[in-house]
Amino acid sequence: MKRLGVNIDHVATIRNARGEKHPSPFLAAKFAKKAGADSITIHLREDRRHIKDLDAKKICSIKGLLVNLEISTNLNMIKSAIKLRPDFVCIVPENRKEITTEGGLNLRKNKRRLKQILSRFKKEKIRTSLFINPIIDDIRISKELETNCIEIHTGHLANLIKSKKNYTKELKKITKCSILAKNLGIEVHAGHGLDYKTTRILRNIKEIEEYNIGHYIIGESIFSGLSKVIKNFNKIIKNRK
């Protein structure tokens, strides 16, 4: 059964724009679960640009909610994650100047460090995932690192599809990597840049079990919810509510 992980970082981005409490990522997490999300993803970045420590603490304490915490390989982030005790952890690369996570981890370069990090989380019984590019060699290294899962970066595929370019080669790479990972006993996830169209294309890869989606869900929710909120305000202004 395929699962949907909802990334709510952008709720925090909107909240932070005003430095006030609304919209609350904590309530968004509860709301998403009620609406059918299988898990909630939050990325606690080193610069805390969206999700803050207190958000992470409150969200990780929601009973019955599966939380996937994305963090970098920074030692302080590992310590924070262990204190937060999420159900799942996904290690991602971080770069100060990026707008969002721009690529997968460099597994070859960071092999030793990643191995240590993963075994630390395993001891804590926290499911591990590595955010990687769709490269066959990286699937083999992921196996050596003994990660429970990999999340394949779908950003490049999504960009090709959105700009109406030929995406066959990229899709083939993702498919091949997913099949190999599954055969090696690694659970396969996909994420980044997904919208309705790209997700419809990727759902055909049966090896992918989890889809982590953020930006499009929050952006599209504006169009799904805008008319209701405007109607509410009109009722208030016209003294009908």
> What x-and-dash track marks residues 152-181 binding ligand PXP by CB under 6 A?
------------------------------
Residue 60 or 218: the one with the smaller Cβ distance to ligand PXP is 218
- Shortest reach from residue 147's CB to ligand PXP, in Å: 13
Which of the following is catalytic: 50, 70, 170, 210? 70
Q: How would you classify residue 239: left for phi > 0, otherwise alpha for psi between -120 and 50, otherwise beta?
A: left
Residues in contact with ligand PXP, counted by CB under 6 A, come to a total of 19
Token code pair at residue 78: 């590992």
Length of the chain: 241
Nearer to ligand PXP (CB atom), residue 104 or residue 175:
104
Rounded Cα distance, 87 and 81, in Å:
10
Closer CB to ligand PXP, 151 or 170, in the complex: 151
Choose, by CB under 6 A, the member of 40, 89, 90, 202 that binds ligand PXP: 90
CB-based burial, 121-138: b 16+ in 10 Å, e otherwise: beeeebbbbbbbbbbeeb
Distance in Å, CB of 71 to ligand PXP, minimum: 10
According to DSSP, residue 65 is labeled -
Q: Spell 216-241 as b/e; 16+ CB within 10 A means b.
A: bbbeeeeeeeeeeeeeeeeeeeeeee
Q: Which of 50, 153, 189, 192 is catalytic?
A: 192
Is 192 annotated as catalytic?
A: yes
Binding flags for ligand PXP, 188-217, as an x/- string (CB under 6 A): ---xxxx-----------------xxxxx-
Annotation says 70 is catalytic? yes
With respect to ligand PXP, which residue has the nearer C-beta, 53 or 236? 53
Residue-wise over 51-86: b if at least 16 C-beta within 10 A, else e? bbeebbeebbeeeebbbbbbbbbeeebbebbeebeb
81, amino acid identity: A
- For residues 39-58, which are near ligand PXP according to CB under 6 A? 43
Q: Which position among 55, 94, 151, 170 is part of the footprint of ligand PXP (CB under 6 A)? A: 151
Q: Which stretch binds ligand PXP (CB under 6 A): 59-67, 134-142, 167-175, 185-193?
A: 185-193
Catalytic annotation present for 144: no
**Torsions phi, psi of 82, nearest 5?**
-65, -35
Q: What is the DSSP letter of 63?
A: T
The correct pick among 28, 44, 60, 70 for binding ligand PXP (CB under 6 A) is: 70
Rounded CA-CA distance 197/159 in Å is 12
Q: Which residues are catalytic?
A: 43, 70, 192
Q: What is the binding site for ligand PXP (CB under 6 A)?
A: 7, 9, 43, 70, 90, 92, 100-101, 131, 151, 191-194, 212-216
